[in-house]
C-alpha cells in the first residue's frame, strides 16, 4: 500500500526564494470552482502573518486574530452568502513578514513557515455534487467524501508573488507599525479576485505536509478565534478641507467623494487636496481609478494640523486647533501607489492598502504621467472591535456631553483585535493602558471578551524571571516592570465584575511570578531596588508618567538617577493587595495572608525611608524630590493615612509648578485618590484638560497633556468610568457583581441621570442635589 504524507491544509509559494526574503512579501492565492446550485459552505482560515479573504470579488474576512509563539488562531467563515451557481473563485492575499524584529509590525508574530491555511468544514451534504477545477493532487478526496466543495488548501490552489509591492517604515528610527506601502501596480492583476480572471500563468501552490507544519507549534497549533471579528462599515469622507493645488473645483472633488461624479486629471499635471473624515477614524481605504498609467499617488494620513519644528520622528509637532489648516500643516505617514493604467469605467483599478489606516485628514497628492487619470471614487470602511455601548448618562455639566462623545470614540478606535495604546503610532497592547481601557469597556458595555483575551495575552508573555512584557503581543521583549502590576489589577477588576474563579485560577501562576520578581529584588531596606531606569539606558524602563519634570528621564522620576524609585515599591504594594483579594476569592487563604504580610513590610519600609518634609513621600529613598504620583499611590495603598494623604495631595494640587503632576495617563488614579480622600469636588478643575481638548477641536482624547504626541489614546477616555461608576455611583461591592453598590459621589455636579450596563443587567439611577448638602437618589433595575 502506497504511503501518502498527509496534507496539513497549509500552502505557500512553490518558489523557495519567496521564503528567503528579508523584506515583507504579498502573495496572492486563487481557487476556482463550480457548483450546480447554491450550497452551504463553511471554512476555517488562517495565515502567517495576515490574510484578506475574497469570494467572487468581495472582501469577506480578514485575520487571523493576533497570536504569538505559543498560540495561533483560525477564523471560521461562512461562505454560503457569497456563492453563485456555476463559476466561483475564492481568493486570498497573504502578507508575510521576515523574522527580524524591525522588518515587520512589532505587534504581529511571524514564523519560518509562512503560509495560508484553508480547511473546508463538513457541511452535512450526502452527495458530492460540486467540482473544483485545476486539481493536481488527490488531496480533496477526503473532503469530497463528506460532501464538501473541495476548497481545503492543497496543490490545486494557484499563487502569484506581487513583485511591485513593498512595506516601508512609517518613520525613521522607531517604526513599530510597518504597514505603510510602496506599490507599483501590475496591469496583469486587474480583476484578480473575479471568477473570469485568467490565472493559467500562475503556479500551483506548494502544500506543507503534516511533518513540515506540526500541530504542536505555531503556526500549526491552531485554536479558534477568541474574540469577535472586527466590524467593517462603509463610510464616506466629510469633504475637502482645502485644494492646495488643483485644476478641478472643490465641488468636483466633493461630488466624487459623495459618489456623485468623477475628477478628471489631465496628463502631466499635479493635484494636492486635503480631505477630512470629520473625526479620527480607523478604516480600510479604497481609491478607484480609470486610466492614468504611470501616475504616482501619495496618500498621507494625519491626525491633525499642527506646526512642524523639524522633520525628525521625535521632533515636536505643536498642535492647538486640530482643524487650523491656515497656520498649520499635516504630518503623518504616507503610502505611495503607481497606477497600472488598466482601469475602466466598468472595472476601475482599485488601490486598497492591505491594513487599516488611522486618519482624520488625508492629503491626496497626484502626479500624472503621459496619460490622463480619472478618480472615480475614494472612501473607506470603518473598522474596529464591535463594541456595543449601552451606558447612557446626562449631567448638570454641559461640557461632559462632548467629553463623553470624544471618550467613547477614543475607546472604539483603540479596540481592534487587541486593545491598542494608539491606532496611529504603535497599535500595541500596553498593560497600563489596557487596565484603564478594560474598566471603561466594562462600565459602558459589560463585555469582557476582549479583556479576557488581553489578560491571556499578558499571561503568555511571562519570562523566566517572572516578569511579563509590558506590551503584548509584541515580537520582541519590551519590559516596564511597573506595568506588570496593572495586569494584576486587571485580574482584580475581572473578579469584581464577573467573579469567574476558573478564569482567575488560570492566571494565578503568572500573578505569583510577577510578585516574586518584585520580592526577589528588594534591597536591604525592604524597598524594591533599582530594577530599571531611563528608557534605552537601563535594562528595563521604569516609566511612570509623562510629565514636564520627567521629560529628560523618559517619563521616569528623576530620582532614578540616584537610585531606586519609590513608585515601584508602591506599585508592588498595590499589586500585593489586589493579589491577596484574588487569592482569597479562589480559596488560597494562605497565599493571601503571605501577600498581606509582604504589604505591611514594604509599607513600613516606605514610611521609614521615603518620608520627607511635612510627611510627604519622596520620589526615592533619601532623595528630596516629590511628585503628585507618590502621594496618590501612598493613599491608594493605605501606606499613609487618609488625613496625611489629604494634606499631601492638596499640597501638589495647590502648587502644581513644584511637583510633577499626574497627566492624562494617571488621571484615573488621581481621581480615585481624590474620591478616597473626600476631595472629589476638586476634579472639576482637572476636567479642564478635556475641556481644552474639545476647544481645540479634538474628536478623540490625547495621549497626554505634556507632549501631546498621539491624538487618540484610550487611557484618556476617563469619563467612561467616572460618570457611571462614580457620579452615578454604580459599582460592584462584592465579586461577580453579587452586590451592586449605588453611591453617587456628586463632586461639582448638581444632578445626574442615566442607565449603566452591568453583568447583571442595566441599572438606572437619577439623583439631584437637595439644596441642603445632600442628594435625592432614585434607582431601578438589576439591584
Mind giving me the DSSP string for 294-347? T-EEEEEEEEEEEEES-SSTTS-EE-SSTT-TTT-EEEEEEEEEE--S---SSS
CATH number, residue 260: 2.60.120.260
Regarding whether 81 and 64 lie in a shared domain, the answer is yes
Cell triple for 306:
499642527
Residue 590 lies in a domain: no
pLDDT of residue 146: 54
Say what the pLDDT of residue 382 is: 98
* pLDDT class of 424 with cuts at 50, 70, 90: very high
Same domain, 358 and 215: no
Question: Does residue 147 lie within any of the structural domains?
Answer: yes
309, with CB counted inside 10 A (0-12, 13-18, 19+), is: exposed
What confidence category does residue 2 fall into, taking pLDDT thresholds of 50, 70 and 90? Answer: low
Check if the beta carbon of residue 527 is closer than 8 Å to that of residue 621.
Answer: yes
| Lowest mean pLDDT across 138-152, 249-263, 445-459, 712-726 | 138-152
Instruction: Tell me what the mean pLDDT of segment 560-575 comes to.
Output: 98
Angle at 409 between CA 177 and CA 233, to 5 degrees: 75
Q: What average pLDDT does this structure show over 520-546?
A: 97
| Percentage of the residues of the chain whose pLDDT score is greater than 70 | 95
**Which pLDDT score is estimated for 699?**
98
Do 150 and 197 sit in the same domain of this protein? yes
- Of the ranges 13-22, 203-212, 243-252, 607-616, which one carries the lowest mean pLDDT score? 13-22
Q: How far is CA 423 from the centre of its chain?
A: 6
Buried b / exposed e over 472-511, threshold 16 CB at 10 Å, is bbbbeebbbbbbbbbbbbbbbbbbbbbbeeebbeebbebb
Section 509-523 average pLDDT? 98
Lowest mean pLDDT among 408-412, 610-614, 769-773: 769-773
**pLDDT of 596 strictly over 50:** yes
**Is 205 found in the same domain as 238?**
no
* CB environment 289-300: b (16+ within 10 A), e (fewer): bbbbbbbbbebb
> Does residue 763 lie in a domain region?
no
DSSP-derived secondary structure letter, 430: B
Q: State pLDDT tens for residues 78-129.
A: 999 999 998 999 999 999 999 988 999 999 999 999 999 999 996 544 333 3
Task: Give the DSSP per-residue string, 684-706.
Answer: HHHTHHHHHHHHTT-SS--S-SS
Alpha-carbon gap, residue 442 to 721, rounded angstroms: 9
Q: How far is Cα 660 from Cα 566, in angstroms, rounded to an integer?
A: 14
Grid cell in block for residue 430: 500596553
d(CA 512, CA 488): 10
pLDDT at 706: 81
Burial 189-223 (b: 16+ CB within 10 A, else e): bbbbbebebebeebebbbbbeeeebeeeebbbebe
Q: How far apart are CA 362 and CA 333, in angstroms?
A: 10
Sign of CA dihedral 159, 164, 169, 171: negative
Surface-to-core class of residue 770, CB atoms within 10 Å of its CB (0-12 exposed, 13-18 middle, 19+ buried): exposed
* pLDDT for the residue numbered 128: 35
CB pairs under 8 A, 24+ apart, for 139-147? 139/7, 139/207, 146/122, 147/122, 147/123
Residue 215 confidence (pLDDT): 87
- Domain check: are 211 and 245 in the same one? no
Q: Are residues 281 and 319 in the same domain?
A: yes
pLDDT at position 515:
98
- pLDDT for 3 equals 52
Q: Which of 183, 199, 229 is the last residue of a domain?
A: 229
Residues 286-329 have pLDDT tens digits of 999 999 999 999 999 999 999 988 776 567 789 999 999 999 99
Rounded distance between C-alpha atoms, residue 691 and residue 602, angstroms: 39
Distance CA(48)–CA(46), nearest Å, equals: 7
Residues 192 and 252 in one domain: no
Q: How confident is the model at residue 579 (pLDDT cuts 50, 70, 90)?
A: very high
Mark whether 27 and 168 lie in a shared domain: yes
Domain closes at, from 212, 229, 246: 229
Number of domains in the chain: 2
Question: How far is 80 from 643, CA to CA, in rounded Å?
Answer: 66
Of 278, 275, 227, 274, nearest to 382 by C-alpha is 278
Do 205 and 349 belong to one domain? no
Tell me if 564 sits within 8 A of 544, measured CB to CB: no
Q: Is residue 773 part of a domain?
A: no
Q: Is residue 223 in a domain?
A: yes
User: Is-contact 567 619, C-beta < 8 A?
Assistant: yes
Q: Which domain holds residue 150?
A: 7-229
pLDDT band (50, 70, 90) for residue 403: very high
Q: Please, which pLDDT band fits residue 173 given cuts at 50, 70 and 90?
A: confident
Do residues 280 and 202 both lie within one domain?
A: no
CA diameter of the chain: 93
- Give the residue-averaged pLDDT of 483-505: 98
Same domain, 19 and 166: yes
Quick check: 142 pLDDT over 90? no
Phi, psi at residue 553, to the nearest 5°?
-110, 25
Name, in order, each residue with C-beta under 8 angstroms of 585's C-beta and a sequence gap of 6 or more.
Answer: 495, 499, 501, 504, 735
Q: How far is CA 576 from the centre of its chain?
A: 28
pLDDT tier, 708 (very low <50, low <70, confident <90, very high otherwise): confident
Mean pLDDT of the chain: 94
Are 516 and 522 in contact by the 8 Å Cβ rule? The answer is no
What value does the mean pLDDT take over residues 558-580? 98
- Between the alpha carbon of residue 47 and those of residues 50, 110, 571, the distances in Å are 6, 10, 39
d(CA 520, CA 516): 6
Is the pLDDT at 554 greater than 50? The verdict is: yes
In a domain, 81, yes or no: yes
199-225: per-residue pLDDT in tens? 999 999 999 999 999 888 999 999 999
Average pLDDT over residues 572-584: 98
DSSP 736: G
Q: For residues 461 and 213, is the Cβ–Cβ distance under 8 A?
A: no
Q: What is the rounded CA–CA span in Å between residue 538 and residue 540?
A: 5
In a domain, 744, yes or no: no
Which ranges constitute the DSSP H helices of 80-168? 141-145
* 157: in domain: yes
Identify whether residues 349 and 220 lie together within a single domain.
Answer: no
Given a cut of 50, whether residue 140 has pLDDT beyond it is no
Q: Which of 195, 229, 263 is the last residue of a domain?
A: 229
Amino acid at each position: 500500500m502506497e504511503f501518502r504524507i498527509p496534507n496539513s491544509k497549509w500552502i505557500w509559494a512553490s518558489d523557495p526564494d519567496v521564503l528567503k526574503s528579508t523584506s515583507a512579501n504579498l502573495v496572492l492565492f486563487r481557487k476556482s470552482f463550480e457548483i450546480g446550485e447554491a450550497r452551504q459552505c463553511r471554512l476555517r482560515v488562517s495565515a502567517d502573518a495576515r490574510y484578506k479573504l475574497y469570494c467572487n470579488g468581495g472582501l469577506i474576512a480578514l485575520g487571523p486574530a493576533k497570536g504569538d509563539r505559543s498560540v495561533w488562531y483560525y477564523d471560521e467563515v461562512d461562505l454560503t452568502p457569497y456563492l453563485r451557481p456555476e463559476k466561483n473563485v475564492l481568493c486570498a492575499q497573504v502578507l508575510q513578514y521576515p523574522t527580524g524584529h524591525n522588518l515587520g509590525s512589532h505587534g504581529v508574530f511571524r514564523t519560518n513557515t509562512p503560509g495560508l491555511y484553508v480547511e473546508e468544514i463538513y457541511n452535512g451534504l450526502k452527495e458530492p455534487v460540486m467540482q473544483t477545477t485545476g486539481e493536481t493532487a488527490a488531496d480533496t478526496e477526503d473532503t469530497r467524501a463528506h460532501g464538501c466543495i473541495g476548497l481545503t488548501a492543497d496543490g490545486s490552489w494557484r499563487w502569484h508573488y506581487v513583485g511591485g509591492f513593498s512595506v516601508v517604515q512609517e518613520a525613521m528610527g522607531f517604526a513599530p507599525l510597518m504597514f505603510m506601502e510602496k506599490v507599483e501596480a501590475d496591469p496583469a492583476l486587474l480583476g484578480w479576485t473575479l471568477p473570469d480572471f485568467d490565472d493559467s500563468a500562475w503556479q500551483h501552490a506548494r502544500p506543507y505536509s503534516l511533518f513540515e507544519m506540526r500541530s504542536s507549534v505555531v503556526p500549526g497549533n491552531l485554536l479558534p478565534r477568541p474574540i469577535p471579528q472586527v466590524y467593517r462599515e462603509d463610510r464616506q469622507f466629510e469633504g475637502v478641507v482645502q485644494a492646495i493645488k488643483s485644476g478641478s473645483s472643490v465641488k468636483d472633488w466633493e461630488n466624487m467623494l459623495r459618489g456623485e461624479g468623477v475628477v478628471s486629471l489631465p496628463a502631466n499635471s499635479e493635484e494636492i487636496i486635503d480631505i477630512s473624515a470629520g473625526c479620527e477614524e480607523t478604516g480600510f481605504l479604497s481609491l478607484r481609478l480609470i486610466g492614468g498609467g504611470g501616475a504616482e499617488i501619495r496618500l498621507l494620513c494625519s491626525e491633525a494640523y499642527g506646526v512642524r519644528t523639524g522633520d525628525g520622528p521625535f521632533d515636536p509637532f505643536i498642535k492647538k486647533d486640530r482643524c487650523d489648516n491656515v497656520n498649520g500643516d499635516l504630518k503623518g505617514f504616507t503610502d505611495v501607489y503607481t497606477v497600472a493604467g488598466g482601469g475602466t469605467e466598468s472595472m476601475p483599478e482599485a488601490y486598497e492598502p492591505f491594513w487599516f489606516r488611522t486618519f482624520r485628514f488625508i492629503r491626496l497628492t497626484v502626479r500624472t504621467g503621459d496619460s490622463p487619470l480619472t478618480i472615480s471614487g475614494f472612501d473607506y470602511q470603518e473598522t474596529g472591535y464591535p463594541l456595543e455601548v449601552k451606558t447612557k448618562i446626562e449631567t448638570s455639566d454641559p461640557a461632559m456631553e462632548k467629553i463623553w462623545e470624544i471618550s467613547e470614540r477614543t475607546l472604539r478606535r483603540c479596540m481592534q483585535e487587541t486593545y491598542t495604546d494608539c491606532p496611529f503610532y504603535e497599535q500595541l497592547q500596553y498593560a497600563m493602558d489596557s487596565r484603564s481601557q478594560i474598566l471603561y469597556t466594562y462600565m459602558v458595555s459589560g463585555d469582557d471578551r476582549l479583556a479576557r483575551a488581553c489578560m491571556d495575552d499578558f499571561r503568555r508573555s511571562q519570562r523566566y524571571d517572572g516578569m511579563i512584557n509590558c506590551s503584548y503581543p509584541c515580537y520582541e521583549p519590551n519590559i516596564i516592570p511597573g506595568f506588570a502590576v496593572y495586569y494584576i489589577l486587571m485580574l482584580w477588576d475581572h473578579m469584581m465584575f464577573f467573579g469567574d474563579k476558573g478564569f482567575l485560577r488560570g492566571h494565578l501562576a503568572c500573578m505569583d511570578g510577577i510578585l516574586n520578581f518584585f520580592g526577589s529584588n528588594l534591597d536591604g531596606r525592604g524597598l524594591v531596588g533599582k530594577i530599571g531606569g531611563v528608557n534605552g539606558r537601563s535594562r528595563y524602563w521604569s516609566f511612570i508618567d509623562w510629565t514636564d519634570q520627567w521629560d529628560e528621564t523618559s517619563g521616569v522620576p528623576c530620582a532614578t538617577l540616584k537610585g531606586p524609585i519609590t513608585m515601584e515599591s508602591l506599585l508592588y504594594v498595590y499589586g500585593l493587595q489586589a493579589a491577596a483579594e484574588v487569592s482569597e476569592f479562589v480559596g488560597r487563604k494562605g497565599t493571601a495572608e503571605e501577600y498581606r504580610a509582604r504589604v505591611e513590610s514594604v509599607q513600613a519600609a516606605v514610611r521609614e525611608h521615603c518620608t520627607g518634609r511635612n510627611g510627604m513621600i519622596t520620589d526615592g529613598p533619601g532623595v528630596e524630590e516629590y511628585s503628585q504620583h507618590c502621594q496618590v499611590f501612598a493613599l491608594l495603598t493605605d501606606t499613609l493615612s487618609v488625613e496625611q494623604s489629604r494634606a499631601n495631595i492638596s499640597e501638589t494640587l495647590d502648587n502644581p509648578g513644584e511637583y510633577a503632576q499626574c497627566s492624562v495617563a494617571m488621571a484615573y488614579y488621581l481621581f480615585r485618590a481624590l474620591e478616597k480622600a473626600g476631595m472629589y469636588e476638586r476634579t472639576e478643575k482637572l476636567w479642564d484638560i478635556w475641556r481644552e481638548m474639545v476647544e481645540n477641536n479634538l474628536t478623540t482624547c490625547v495621549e497626554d497633556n505634556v507632549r501631546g504626541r498621539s491624538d487618540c489614546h484610550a487611557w484618556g477616555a476617563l469619563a467612561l468610568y467616572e460618570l457611571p461608576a462614580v457620579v452615578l455611583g454604580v459599582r460592584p461591592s462584592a465579586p461577580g457583581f453579587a452586590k451592586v453598590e449605588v453611591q453617587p459621589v456628586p463632586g461639582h455636579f448638581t444632578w445626574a441621570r442615566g442607565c449603566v450596563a452591568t453583568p447583571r443587567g442595566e441599572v438606572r439611577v437619577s439623583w439631584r442635589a437637595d439644596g441642603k448638602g445632600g442628594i435625592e437618589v432614585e434607582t431601578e433595575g438589576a439591584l
